[in-house]
Chain A
């Protein structure tokens, strides 16, 4: 039997979000450095950042009411008990 606190799931989630943030930063830097049209690149930056903010807002909205201190028990051979 294995027990773990639910908040442990936040660790891989945070790692993936950090990778996403890093790649977003590199992509934005590429766009700003190598852009040819200012208007298109500005709108592309704006829409991309707005999309990230929108996804972040909804993710936070769904994840914040969760009780992260809840203990999850995993019985080997029987599945997960809630």
Chain B
């Protein structure tokens, strides 16, 4: 990721260093692309399967126009949703700095959530790789528990979750030490 863009996006503080920024695993994007590829192919396959059937006989101008408009709307919608799925992947990411953990999430077209967590508040973190695809491609989740909060911070479908959990816990330990020296 471009460091300059990232600094402005997260309002980087003077003493803050960006340790790592992660997105969901690329296989998630590929899966979504494959789904939309099937959606693009579906009308063609249906047409080839049923072209000799009675209901596809589009000789009348009304049905022909309706079919062309329907296909046009279908492909425009597929393209739009495909782009939305790409944005959902591309605009979601987590940034780990030496001070905090930021969760930047795009939920659909009209919702963007940015939450952050001070590293020294982290109590424990659990990483998990669960399921056939996750085990095959090595992606998983990290659940982070903080002091005094019931809701867990979650990094979903990220590559190499075990290594990242270790980095987060090391950074949290460093930040705790830093805060203890500051309070003394």
Contacts and interface: CB of A to CB of B under 8 A. Distances in A.
Interface string A34-61: 1111101100100010011001001100
B35 interface: no
Interface string B65-94: 110110011011101100110110011010
A72 B75 contact: no
Nearest to B59: A82
Query: Interface range on chain B: under 10, 10 to 19, 20 to 34, or 35 or more?
Result: 35 or more
B150 interface: no
Contact of B6 (A36, A55, A58, A67): A36
Interface stretch (B45-53, B106-114, B171-179): B106-114
A20 B5 CA distance: 29
Interface in B109-163: 109-110, 112
Q: 3 closest Cβ contacts across the A-B interface?
A: A82-B60, A59-B72, A36-B1
21 contacts: A13-B72, A16-B76, A17-B73, A23-B84, A24-B83, A26-B109, A27-B80, A27-B83, A27-B87, A30-B87, A30-B106, A30-B109, A34-B9, A34-B91, A41-B90, A52-B76, A55-B79, A62-B68, A72-B62, A80-B60, A82-B62
